[in-house]
Every structure is written in C-alpha cells, then in structure tokens.
Amino acid sequence: ELKVEQNPLFLSMQEGKNYTIYCNYSTTSDRLYWYRQDPGKSLESLFVLLSNGAVKQEGRLMASLDTKARLSTLHITAAVHDLSATYFCAVDIFTNAGKSTFGDGTTLTVKP
C-alpha cells in the first residue's frame, strides 16, 4: 500500500523567511503533484513532477523530486502572506488505475 507522508503538518512563519515542506512516499512512483488549497476552496495544481531530478519553480515556490530517496520538497522563498494556505502532495503509481494518494497536507500561515 502506497503511503505518503508530509511534514510538517503545520507551519507558521514570518514574512520574508524561507522554509521547506517535505513529502516522502513509500513505493516507486510515476508522478508527484503539489497542490494548494485555500479555505473553503478546491485544489489548485501547482506542480507536476515526472522524473528524477525534476525541478520546477513558480514565483516564490520551487518543487523538486528525488525518486531514489522517494522524496519531494516544496521550498518557499521569502514568504508573503498570500502564500498562507494548505499544501498537499500527491503521488501516482502506474498500476493504481490513475489514482493519486494524498499526503495529509501542510497548513502554512505566514505572519507579517
């Protein structure tokens, strides 16, 4: 059974600071995703990582994937209040009929 673990689950940080969210998974994966969810809203796709060593950046967020370590990171640079949200990673494995397994989410609060 595929397991996906995120840490930390809660993160409170000051504006301007950097931090990293970690996503570990338990078996070989085909794809890894990062999503953002605002309160009361659905998921917004941030990144799709398809291969070992993949790195993608959008604004203050950068995601990377190490398939050998079964680890993805979401790095936040110079956080701003607008980044406050819950971030989920999710993992696909080919044999799982296209289903994704989600981590528990990291709730990020950026304080002024």
Contact 21, 74 (CB under 8 A): yes
State yes or no: residue 26 binds another protein (CB under 8 A). no
Q: Does 99 bind another protein (CB under 8 A)?
A: yes
105 binds another protein (CB under 8 A): yes
To the nearest whole angstrom, how small is the minimum distance from the Cβ of residue 18 to another protein? 25
Q: Nearer Cβ to another protein, position 44 or 58?
A: 44
Which residue's CB is nearer to another protein, number 83 or number 92?
A: 92
Nearest CA to 25 among 104, 82, 80, 79? 104
3-state secondary structure of 70: coil
List residues bridging with 106 in a β-sheet.
87
Q: Confirm or reject binding of residue 59 to another protein (CB under 8 A).
A: no
Please list, in sequence order, all residues whose beta carbon lies within 8 angstroms of the beta carbon of residue 100, skipping any fewer than 6 positions away: 33, 90, 91, 92
Q: Does residue 43 interact with another protein by CB under 8 A?
A: yes
